[in-house]
């Protein structure tokens, strides 16, 4: 995969459950533009569902800072959560869904480690 050469070419989308001292669960939804490294805060939820995963993609598409140059890739990891619903959302916008845990981890893990190290 060649690196993005302009904003809006490739987005990495993830939901994570950071450790919380109280033991409660919180899922942080975020997306990152590969080129600009702009982080999109898509919200925090106390549980996760396929509908929620696809709705957060809709939130990304309609975010005022989302760039779409006619086509883009959305990289997600995990199992194929909400695959069909996400495709229904992004295909009309020129999006391609790519499930690739390794690429997602390679791109996001350094950023997430730095972010969470500040919370500890």
Mean pLDDT, contiguous 10-residue spans, the chain (120 residues): 90 87 87 95 92 94 93 86 88 95 89 70
The answer to whether 57 and 89 are in contact (CB under 8 A) is yes
**Residue 95, in any domain of the structure:** yes
Is there a domain that residue 118 lies in? no
The whole model's pTM is what? Answer: 0.88
Q: Is residue 3 part of a domain?
A: no
In the chain, how many domains are there? Answer: 1
- Confidence (pLDDT) at 97: 95
Give pLDDT, residue 72.
97
Q: State the CATH number of the domain containing residue 26.
A: 3.30.420.10
- Label residue 46 exposed, middle or buried (CB < 10 Å: 0-12, 13-18, 19+): exposed
What is the rounded CA–CA span in Å between residue 114 and residue 104? 16
Q: What is the pLDDT of residue 94?
A: 96
Distance in Å from the first CA to the final CA of the chain: 34
């Amino acid at each position: 995969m060649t690196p993005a050469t302009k904003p809006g070419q490739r987005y990495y989308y993830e939901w994570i459950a950071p450790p919380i001292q109280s033991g409660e669960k919180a899922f942080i939804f975020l997306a990152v533009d590969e080129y600009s490294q702009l982080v999109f805060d898509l919200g925090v939820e106390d549980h996760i569902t396929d509908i929620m995963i696809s709705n957060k993609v809709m939130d990304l598409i309609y975010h005022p800072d989302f760039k779409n140059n006619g086509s883009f890739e959305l990289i997600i990891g995990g199992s194929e959560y909400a695959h069909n619903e996400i495709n229904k959302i992004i295909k009309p916008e020129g999006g391609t869904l790519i499930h690739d845990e390794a690429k997602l981890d390679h791109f996001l893990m350094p950023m997430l480690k730095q972010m969470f190290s500040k919370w500890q």
